[in-house]
Amino acid sequence: MTTATAGVLFILSLLAALAVAYRYLGDHMFRVVAAEHHGRVERGIYRVLGVDPHAEQSWGGYARSVLAFSLISILFLYAFLRLQDVVFKVPDFAATIDERVFPHLAWNTAVSFVTNTNWQAYSGESTMTHLVQMAGLAVQNFVSAAVGIAVAVALVRGFARRRTDRLGNFWVDLTRITLRILLPIAVVGAVLLIAGGVVQSLGDGTAVTTLTGAEQHLTGGPVAGQEVIKELGTNGGGFYNVNSAHPFENPTAWTNWLEIFLILCIPFALPRVFGRMVGDNRQGYAILAVMATIAIASIALTNVFELGGAGTVPQAAGAAMEGKDVRFGLSDSATFAAATTLTSTGAVNSFHDSYTALGGMMPIVNMMLGEVAPGGVGSGLYGMLILAVLTVFVAGLMVGRTPEYVGKKIGAREIKFASLYFLITPTLVLIGVAAAMATGNWRTQLNVGPHGFSEVVYAFTSAANNNGSAFAGITVNTPWWDTATGLAMLLGRFLPIVFVLGLAGSLAGQSPVPASAGTLPTHKPLFIGMVVGVVVILVALTFLPALALGPLAEGL
Amino acid sequence: MTVTSVATPHPRPQPRKVGGGLLDPRQLWKSLPDALRKLNPATLWRTPVMLIVEVGAVFTTLLAIAQPSGFSWAITGWLWLTVVFANLAEAVAEGRGKAQAATLRNAKKDTMARRLTGWSEGAPADRYREESVAASALARGDLVVVEAGQVIPGDGDVIEGIASVDESAITGESAPVIRESGGDRSAVTGGTKVLSDRIVVRITQQPGESFIDRMISLVEGANRQKTPNEIALNILLAALTINFLLATVTLQPMASYAKAWQGAAPDTPAFGADGISGIVLVSLLVCLIPTTIGALLSAIGIAGMDRLVQRNVLAMSGRAVEAAGDVSTLLLDKTGTITLGNRQAWEFLPAAGVTVEQVADAAQLSSLADETPEGRSIVVLAKEQHGLRAREEGFMPHATFIPFTAQTRMSGVDLSEGNADRQIRKGAASAVMKWVRDNGGHPSDDVGPAVDAISGQGGTPLVVAELVTGQPARALGVIHLKDVVKSGMRERFDEMRRMGIRTVMITGDNPLTAKAIADEAGVDDFLAEATPEDKLALIRKEQEGGRLVAMTGDGTNDAPALAQADVGVAMNTGTSAAKEAGNMVDLDSDPTKLIEIVEIGKQLLITRGALTTFSIANDIAKYFAIIPAMFAVVYPSLDALNIMRLSSPESAILSAVVFNALIIVALIPLSLRGVRYTPSSASRLLTRNLWVYGLGGIIAPFLGIKLLDMIISLIPGIG
């Protein structure tokens, strides 16, 4: 079996598994968010939080709850990280930890994990203790993912409900999504990963003698538990610095397959929840089709570029294997790279910096698309729905009616929120890159010329889109980089969330317009094609100059 | 709308094509001064996209003064032209309205009013006082008297008298109309002229708020408010503009880095030692921001209103025009809209022992003096089906015509030839049957069933009977009067259905009759024996389901429904109350026009959407022109993006800017006329418009820029 054939089989089997997940995981998630019943544990949590689970919130209340919860999370995580550094006097406290968590890194890391970005300006195994990994970072891996799903569900409620200002209760959504969706899948996934060879212990590792006779300390730890939610919650923060390229995180080709499946399963299944909640499954299929079209095209292109192996070094070496692990090979690495950047995961099993110029451009483009195909858990669905709203607006005019999407009119207020949402990430990326170039902070990069520029573009694109993967090749643990990327992550997460909830509130207040022959059908191939076109064209128009000076200059 | 002085009837639009007047090149020229005046930033800020272009033009002007070159002046010149072209589009659209406003102002001469004090109906002349005041001094509730030859000083209702009025100043229709007190034809408009008789009018307007005043401000677009959809589109355009502004502004530090790294790259006018030149950055910005739609957006809106005015419909707000495009339920009055205004004779049904010719003959005789449309239709039918020529009244010296009265409910003729008198009666079945019995006859058995059968089909039966001296009266037969559905209505309603619009027929007829006509016309639903309350309830019910409703009405009792409907079109012949309540007035008083209004509303939105799509799609080609032009000197590999093989960087950038300016002028006629609209389903419309304006928008600039480059490259110093 050639590499290409194996790669195609790998992708096809993934697609088949995701199709099953769309149906069954999607229906399960729908039942969870629509449920009336509160479990015993859940009622206990509500009592502790002092929340009335039957009291629904307006969009403002929902947004305030999201922001308050996230603020507390950031403060807690920041304090936790500083505590490790100051009180326990790490590095003396734990033998394996030899790096400090300075305030700028603590800020960056706290923001990074709360915003579901999981940008890591540090090396996990040598900076974070097991306690921080488990009680600090892994907890955020769960709840930051749940926040994303909750916001997406609130937006869908906006579409589905009529003449109300109530969008549900954030605390209920958060609790249920964590306990009924993320936790069960994570437990099953962790067991499978352990079976596949991922380590899970509380020890501080093993000392081994290598072939050359040298002593080497292999860091162990509670890896599998963190690994599974890292993928499932599209977080991406690795236990180890080299992330899913590490044999303890991702030992074999089939764990690689499982990890990609875990990354994609919730984002791809959420459109089902949308279809079910608005009472028209075809709408869910349409959104799924848009996501799948872009995703398949992107995965295919990344594979083509990497297998093609353009560039001097790959040509000389025979293949673009630099920065890739032979366990996975070209194709499975490329597919992982596409999956991790099409979602907001940011886990890597190979080093994007070492990809061919155009192959390395694909992860950047994927993130620039706004991570909507399928995107992060929740954030992918709401991002895509915003783009669908913008498409409906222009397309709807062309059929001679005030545009409407699943029965809700897209007027000035809706367009205001959608436009603001759309503006945030390009603004953060472009201003961030320009600032790095103008202030000279690009000098921490490893490469020069277009490739070095790509490293800077990658960093801000990843931070602002809450992806968290790094191109590598650039040192970002400096006060300037930690602060700047921290801001990009924070604003890139919560401003869009506020606008999404604002849009949801505005939609929920409307009474739906019944569909007729004069209504733009939003479940037909024509519309699906239009959304794909709008996504690609808007992104191309915004970022083409930047891409031209980076990967395009290098790769053409 | 045609002007008063030119007393030709206004041109009727083609029924199926929604279009507008063509653009006269002289109009462009005449509007130029206005376009230049609009360069004032204080007015230009209403179009933020163009304001950005103007700021850019000012900036490049300064740069061109500082470092003059053919290239920088050429760019500067074309940037200014871009703004002027955008202003020109708006000025031309407004200019059409201004011409109409001028003619309306002529009608609003300073008239004197004869105000009455102490007047009451039937009061003798010495009981009230008459004084002469300026029309502008009239207040609501004042009473004025107007006689033949005088101009009605203000809007109001006739409370005494009947007069023929020349309303051509408003409607453009030269035929006089009748206005009389009471009923639904009592409203008169200020500025129109009484041609005969004398009327007393109660003024219903406040000074300065007359119908003509409102018309003037509407057609001038003086206080034109942005419509909801226009506001939404403006927000989207502003967001795109900010996005591209960012993309352009942040480009400089990125480019400087590249330049520093490729130190050996030669300096060019576009990209020198201190980065990309300001001229080029502004050019890039102007090419990327949605100037095409930004320039034409307000012209599209003004022209949409104008298209309605050309069809003699006045929309009181742009919002109403937009709502028309969204309408999903049309309430149509049966009479005059779906059927011809009146019932028409359809066939003659003879009683036993009578030939059809005898019936036709008697029916014709009895109808000769009947000037109602029904009566005339009987004469016509007798002639067409039975070759009976109409006998002139004058040729029948012995005939005495009996007019129809509400008491007798029949009409007829008494003929005396020698000593044989013959009386013919025609009328409602029950009345004529009674007459037959009263005169000693008894109707034959087949008349009753025939009458019932006609009623059952929704028609109106008229019985014809005769009484010849010395014989008992006898019923000759039945005339079948029937509502005739206008031709082409069924096709029209099928079209509406494809557009997703439900049609509901409103009629005062009984359900049986209503159903027969509804089936024949092909409407989706009907409301029979409709009272004004029923109409209002129906509208509310539809609106509760999220549907927008359009209707026409003329009577005072229609006013609540007109006010409740999302699009309420009042007939100009209607009462002031109806005109106040509706948000549109049809000066021709043609209820069928509702369908056209919906199409114009849709066309307005489609034009906006199509040009937005076109504008955004254009950007792709401009990138392929400008990016290699800027950067190929630093990174030669980027020349691969120069797929148009443009001759030089300067020529490429200038071509893109020139294309960007010229496309505005090229699209002015389209924005004024509106995108071609053929009623069809949403899917088909979208497919068509996406091909034309989406794909066209991608391809057109590639061709245009290449063509311009071939011309511009001939200019020394740039090519």
Q: What is the DSSP string of B112-152?
A: EEEEEES--TT--GGGSEEEEEEGGG--TT-EEEEETTPBP
User: How distant is the Cα of B296 from the closest Cα of chain A, in angstroms?
Assistant: 15
Of A426, A517, A541, the CB nearest to B682: A517
A521 to B547: CB separation less than 8 angstroms, yes or no: no
Chain A residue with CA closest to B284: the answer is: A545
Q: Which of A155-164, B155-164, B186-195 has the highest mean pLDDT?
A: A155-164
Residue A499 falls inside a structural domain:
yes
Interface test with B, best of A358, A394, A398, A441 (most B CBs within 10 A): A398
Rounded distance between C-alpha atoms, residue A153 and residue A501, angstroms: 10
Give the mean model confidence (pLDDT) for residues A201-228: 83
Residue A528 falls inside a structural domain:
yes
A400 to B605: CB separation less than 8 angstroms, yes or no: yes
Inter-residue contact A444 to A478 (CB < 8 Å): yes
Name the pLDDT band for A499 (thresholds 50, 70, 90).
very high
By DSSP bridging, strand B549-553 and strand B567-571 are: parallel
Give the mean model confidence (pLDDT) for residues B147-155: 86
Q: Which of A173-177, A210-214, A353-357, B687-691 has the highest mean pLDDT?
A: A173-177
B243 to A546: CB separation less than 8 angstroms, yes or no: no
Rounded distance between C-alpha atoms, residue B232 and residue A393, angstroms: 9
Interface test with B, best of A163, A401, A516, A526 (most B CBs within 10 A): A401
B641 to A552: CB separation less than 8 angstroms, yes or no: yes
pLDDT at B3 over 90: no
Give the mean model confidence (pLDDT) for residues B102-127: 77
As separate numbers, helices (DSSP H) first and strands (DSSP E) second, chain B gives: 24, 24
Counting the structural domains of chain A, the total is 1
Give the mean model confidence (pLDDT) for residues B91-106: 78
Query: Higher confidence at residue B154 or residue B66?
Result: B66
Which of A353-362, A423-432, B2-11, B352-361 has the least mean pLDDT?
B2-11
Query: What string of H, E and C letters represents the secondary structure of B184-225?
Result: HHCEECCCCEECCCEEEEEECCCCCCCHHHHHHHHHHCCCCC
Name the pLDDT band for A463 (thresholds 50, 70, 90).
very high
User: How distant is the Cα of B685 from the closest Cα of chain A, in angstroms?
Assistant: 6
Give the mean model confidence (pLDDT) for residues A471-482: 86
Q: Which residue from A58, A125, A123 is spatially nearest to A96, judged by alpha carbons? A: A125
Give the mean model confidence (pLDDT) for residues B188-208: 84
Burial A434-452 (b: 16+ CB within 10 A, else e): bbbbeeebbebbeeebbbb
A412 to B638: CB separation less than 8 angstroms, yes or no: no
Beta-carbon pairs below 8 A across chains A and B? 211
Residue located via tokens 């880095």: B257
Known binding-site residue numbers of B for ATP: 370, 374, 404-411, 426
The CB density around residue B589, as the number of other CB atoms within 10 Å, is 20
B605 to A401: CB separation less than 8 angstroms, yes or no: yes
Q: What is the predicted pLDDT for the residue at B341? A: 65
The packing angle between helices A281-308 and A253-277, to 10°, is: 150
Name the pLDDT band for B397 (thresholds 50, 70, 90).
low
B685 to A400: CB separation less than 8 angstroms, yes or no: yes
Q: CB distance from A423 to chain B under 8 Å?
A: yes
User: How distant is the Cα of A529 from the closest Cα of chain B, in angstroms?
Assistant: 11
Query: What string of H, E and C letters represents the secondary structure of B299-328?
Result: HHHHHHHHHHHHCCEEECCHHHHHHHHHCC
Give the tens place of pLDDT for each residue, B489-520. 888 888 888 888 889 988 877 888 888 888 88
B236 to A393: CB separation less than 8 angstroms, yes or no: yes
Q: What is the predicted pLDDT for the residue at B85? A: 94
Contacts of B414 (CB under 8 A, 6+ apart): B399, B400, B402, B421, B422, B423, B424
Q: Which of A127-136, B49-58, B251-260 has the highest mean pLDDT?
A: B49-58
Residue located via tokens 């004069």: A518
pLDDT at A45 over 70: yes
The pLDDT > 70 percentage for chain B reads 93
Residue A542 falls inside a structural domain:
yes
Per CB-CB distance under 8 Å, the chain A contacts of B328 are: 513-514, 516, 518
- pLDDT averaged over chain A? 91
Name the pLDDT band for B381 (thresholds 50, 70, 90).
confident
pLDDT at B631 over 60: yes
CB contacts under 8 A, A 532-551 vs B, are 533, 537, 540-546, 548-549
B635 to A549: CB separation less than 8 angstroms, yes or no: yes
Interface test with A, best of B49, B230, B242, B250 (most A CBs within 10 A): B250
pLDDT at A295 over 70: yes
Please tell me what DSSP assigns to residue B641: G
Which of A81-95, A170-184, A213-227, B15-29 has the least mean pLDDT?
B15-29
The pLDDT > 90 percentage for chain B reads 25
Inter-residue contact B667 to B296 (CB < 8 Å): yes
CA distances from A401 to A513, A523, B323, B325, B685 (A): 12, 17, 8, 5, 11
The CB density around residue B268, as the number of other CB atoms within 10 Å, is 18
3-class SS at B400?
Answer: strand
Q: CB distance from A411 to chain B under 8 Å?
A: yes
Which of A230-234, B10-14, B195-199, B636-640 has the least mean pLDDT?
B10-14
Burial of B692 (0-12, 13-18, 19+ CB in 10 A): middle
Q: CB distance from A392 to chain B under 8 Å?
A: no
Chain A residue with CA closest to B329: the answer is: A516
Query: Higher confidence at residue A415 or residue A471?
Result: A415
Residue B333 annotated as catalytic: yes
Rounded distance between C-alpha atoms, residue B714 and residue B115, angstroms: 75
Rounded distance between C-alpha atoms, residue A20 and residue A18, angstroms: 5
Name the pLDDT band for A65 (thresholds 50, 70, 90).
very high
Per CB-CB distance under 8 Å, the chain B contacts of A408 are: none
B686 to A423: CB separation less than 8 angstroms, yes or no: no
What is the four-CA torsion angle of A116, A122, A126, A129, rounded to 10 degrees?
A: -40
Q: What is the predicted pLDDT for the residue at B119? A: 81
Contacts of B3 (CB under 8 A, 6+ apart): B100, B103, B172
Please tell me what DSSP assigns to residue B638: G
Q: Which of A286-295, A353-362, A540-549, B494-503 has the highest mean pLDDT?
A: A286-295
3-class SS at B19?
Answer: coil
Q: What ipTM was assigned to the predicted interfaces of this complex?
A: 0.93
Inter-residue contact A430 to B250 (CB < 8 Å): yes
The pLDDT > 70 percentage for chain A reads 98
Give the mean model confidence (pLDDT) for residues B674-702: 90
Burial of B609 (0-12, 13-18, 19+ CB in 10 A): buried
Give the mean model confidence (pLDDT) for residues A171-194: 96
B689 to A398: CB separation less than 8 angstroms, yes or no: yes
Q: CB distance from A48 to chain B under 8 Å?
A: no
Query: What string of DSSP letters covers B465-489?
Result: EEEETTS--EEEEEEEEEEEEPTTH
Burial B444-455 (b: 16+ CB within 10 A, else e): bebbeebbeebe
Determine if the peptide bond prior to A496 is cis (ω within 30°): no
CB contacts under 8 A, A 1-30 vs B, are none
Inter-residue contact A117 to A428 (CB < 8 Å): no
Which of A188-197, A441-450, A516-525, B194-203 has the least mean pLDDT?
A441-450
Chain B residue with CA closest to A450: the answer is: B258
Inter-residue contact A422 to A394 (CB < 8 Å): no
Domain that holds residue A490: 376-555
pLDDT at A434 over 70: yes
Q: What is the predicted pLDDT for the residue at A270? A: 97
Q: What is the predicted pLDDT for the residue at A96? A: 66
Q: What is the predicted pLDDT for the residue at A95? A: 61
pLDDT at A324 over 70: yes
Phi, psi (rounded to 5 degrees) for B145 = -110, 140
Give the tens place of pLDDT for each residue, B554-588. 777 778 888 899 999 988 777 778 888 888 888 88
User: How distant is the Cα of A419 from the closest Cα of chain B, in angstroms?
Assistant: 6
User: How distant is the Cα of B517 from the closest Cα of chain A, in angstroms?
Assistant: 25
Q: What is the predicted pLDDT for the residue at B179? A: 84
Of B236, B499, B637, the CB nearest to A518: B499
Name the pLDDT band for B13 (thresholds 50, 70, 90).
very low
Which of A243-252, B267-276, B350-359 has the least mean pLDDT?
B267-276
**Structure-token pair, residue B537:** 């309830």
Inter-residue contact A129 to A80 (CB < 8 Å): no
Q: What is the predicted pLDDT for the residue at B5? A: 35
Distance from the first to the final alpha carbon of chain A: 31
Name the pLDDT band for B266 (thresholds 50, 70, 90).
confident
A411 to B228: CB separation less than 8 angstroms, yes or no: yes
Which of A479-483, B442-446, B626-630 has the least mean pLDDT?
B442-446
Residue A20 falls inside a structural domain:
no
Name the pLDDT band for B10 (thresholds 50, 70, 90).
very low
pLDDT at A122 over 60: yes
The CB density around residue A72, as the number of other CB atoms within 10 Å, is 11
pLDDT at A266 over 60: yes
Residue A73 Cα to chain centre, angstroms: 18
Which of A210-214, A536-540, B623-627, B670-674 has the least mean pLDDT?
A210-214
Q: What is the predicted pLDDT for the residue at A408? A: 93
- Global model pTM greater than 0.90: no
Name the pLDDT band for B645 (thresholds 50, 70, 90).
very high
Q: What is the predicted pLDDT for the residue at B4? A: 36
Please tell me what DSSP assigns to residue A474: B
A415 to B236: CB separation less than 8 angstroms, yes or no: yes
pLDDT at B16 over 70: no
User: How distant is the Cα of B290 from the closest Cα of chain A, in angstroms?
Assistant: 12
Residue A390 falls inside a structural domain:
yes
pLDDT at A206 over 50: yes
Residue A550 falls inside a structural domain:
yes
CA distances from A121 to A100, A107, B441, B629 (A): 12, 11, 113, 38
pLDDT at B78 over 80: yes
Residue A402 falls inside a structural domain:
yes
The CB density around residue A27, as the number of other CB atoms within 10 Å, is 14
Interface test with B, best of A361, A392, A399, A537 (most B CBs within 10 A): A399
Give the mean model confidence (pLDDT) for residues B468-491: 84
Per CB-CB distance under 8 Å, the chain B contacts of A502 are: none
Q: What is the predicted pLDDT for the residue at B237? A: 94
Q: CB distance from A525 to chain B under 8 Å?
A: no
Residue A331 falls inside a structural domain:
no
Interface test with A, best of B225, B235, B692 (most A CBs within 10 A): B235
3-class SS at A472?
Answer: coil
- pLDDT averaged over chain B? 84
Inter-residue contact B673 to B306 (CB < 8 Å): no
Active-site choice (B306, B333, B361, B709): B333
Query: Higher confidence at residue B577 or residue B397?
Result: B577
